[in-house]
Amino acid sequence: MRFPTTRLRRLRQSAALRNLVRETRLTPESLVYPLFVCPGKGVRRPVSSMPGVANLSVDELVKEAREAHGLGIPAVILFGLPEKKDEAATGAWEDNGIVQQAARALKRELPELLVIGDVCLCEYMSHGHCGVVRSRTRQRPPGPRVVVAKSAQAATAAAAEAMAQEFEIANDETLEILAKTAVSLVHAGVDMVAPSDMMDGRVAAIRQALDAAGSSNAPILSYAAKFASAFYGPFREAADSAPQFGDRRSYQMDSANGREALREMELDAREGADILMVKPAITSLDLLARARQHFELPLAAYQVSGEYAMLEAAAQRGWLDRRAAALETLTAIARAGADVIMTYFAADAARWLAEDPR
């Protein structure tokens, strides 16, 4: 196996040869297209930090999904911008919630398209956290005004830390609302639920609630290893879901921790997750590769808003070739071990792959 007998360049001499021996093949069939649904009709409100992405009313969402499905994208994941936010996340689980409306419309118009419902409360909570906020010092939980007023005061890191100490995100109280949300989404027609909140025990709580509600066939795609990441910024603009005080580090993972990520995945697998997801994607390729060795479950990766935004920004300046760079990242995510990739490039990638499969 030594030069000059071994010459790895022999198989790189033509497109046909390279295609023949390509190890990772990207196809639209493994891509999931994230969509943001908002109230109204004929609404297409661009998200400034995510060129090409918009908040869509249900009618526009159906159009967007129809086009993507026509390009070979099998699935969408839905995020909602509710009419009103409160401290019970009512918009997440009410019968006529915005995602529930979108799911009904999609299943009516495009029955073969897989509809995944993201299960989280941050878009629906007045304080923007993924769970119920409880004060450690008061008897009753703080109202939104208290929380917002306090957060305005918390200008320094020390003040922010003090606030984080005063308020906690109550794990077990949140589980009930998450479970209720999952049941409501499945009743509205979603084919799969995807909890992204990072509360402990949510997969078991959701599995139990779905089974009790007669939906034992609805799969759970768990955001199992989800890091507290700077790369979710543009999403929070898109979904209007930025926390009004503090941050998400008391529930999302510390990005320094790889072994803990495997524990999160192990727990979710035991609690009944059908698909395990890692997020963000490009900063977690090592974990995808490790998870591929550890688990026989299908693996997913979420190429998040900030990953999309940085590629878009560089492409807009002419600093990167948008198509080549996007396809390269998606291929790397698949090579690392992802069977399923959630990406804002899904529709474009399907177009590119139809022109030039790779």
Contact between 312 and ligand PBG by CB under 6 A: the answer reads no
Provide the token pair at 246.
Answer: 């503090």
Interacting residue with ligand PBG among 71, 78, 106, 130 (CB under 6 A): 130
Q: Of the two residues 227 and 295, which places its CB atom closer to ligand PBG in the complex?
A: 227
For residue 81 the two structure tokens come to: 């911008």
Instruction: Specify the residue, 167 or 235, whose C-beta has the smaller distance to ligand PBG.
Output: 235
Among 196, 284, 329, 343, binds ligand PBG (CB under 6 A): 196
**Considering the rule CB under 6 A, would residue 305 count as an interface residue with ligand PBG?**
yes
> Is 279 considered catalytic here?
yes
Q: Is the peptide bond before 39 cis (omega within 30 degrees of 0)?
A: no
Q: Please select the residue that binds ligand PBG; options are 82, 85, 91, 118, rule is CB under 6 A.
A: 118
Letters for 74-103 (x = contact with ligand PBG by CB under 6 A, - = none) are ------------------------------
Given 85, 150, 180, 279, the catalytic residue: 279
Give the shortest CB-7-to-ligand PBG separation in angstroms. Answer: 43
Which residue type is seen at 321?
Answer: D
As a whole number of angstroms, the distance between CA 134 and CA 171 comes to 10
Smallest CA-to-CA distance from 82 within 72, 71, 90 is with 90
- Which one of 26, 113, 178, 304 is in contact with ligand PBG (CB under 6 A)? 304
Catalytic residue selected from 85, 150, 180, 226: 226
Give 114's contacts (C-beta < 8 A, 6+ positions apart).
Answer: 74, 75, 76, 191, 192
Shortest distance, CB of residue 152 to ligand PBG, whole angstroms? 21
Selected range binding ligand PBG among 22-30, 116-124, 178-186, 211-219, rule: CB under 6 A: 116-124
For residue 358, the SS3 value is: coil
**Identity of the residue, 202 or 207, whose beta carbon is nearer to ligand PBG in the bound complex:** 202
- Specify the amino acid at residue 23: E
Q: How far apart are CA 43 and CA 38, in angstroms?
A: 8
Report the nearest approach of ligand PBG to the CB of residue 99 (Å): 12
Number of residues that bind ligand PBG (CB under 6 A): 11
For 144-173, give one letter per residue: b (16+ CB within 10 A) or e. beebeebbeebeeeeebeebbebbbbebee
Torsion angle (degrees, nearest 10) of CA 14, 15, 21, 22: 140
Rounded least distance, CB 339 to ligand PBG, Å: 19
Contact status, residue 133 vs residue 169, Cβ threshold 8 Å: yes
Residue 226 near residue 196 (C-beta atoms within 8 A): yes
CA distance 52 to 234: 12
Closer Cβ to ligand PBG, 260 or 356, answer by number: 260
Q: Is 120 in the site for ligand PBG (CB under 6 A)?
A: yes
CA distance 262 to 191: 26
Task: Name which of residues 222 to 261 contact ligand PBG (CB under 6 A).
Answer: 232, 235-236, 248
CB of 2 or CB of 181, closer to ligand PBG: 181
Q: Distance between CA 216 and CA 208 in Å, rounded?
A: 9
* Number of Cα atoms under 13 Å in the Cβ half of residue 77: 28
| Known active-site residue 226 | yes
Task: Determine which residue in the list 31, 71, 122, 277 makes contact with ligand PBG, applying CB under 6 A.
Answer: 122
- 209 touching ligand PBG, by CB under 6 A: no
The SS3 assignment for 87 reads coil
Report the amino acid identity of residue 10.
Answer: R
By CB under 6 A, is residue 171 in contact with ligand PBG? no
Q: How far is the CB of 81 from ligand PBG (least distance, A)?
A: 12
Q: Which residues are catalytic?
A: 226, 279
- Which residues of the shown chain bind ligand PBG in the complex (CB under 6 A)? 118, 120, 122, 130, 196, 232, 235-236, 248, 304-305
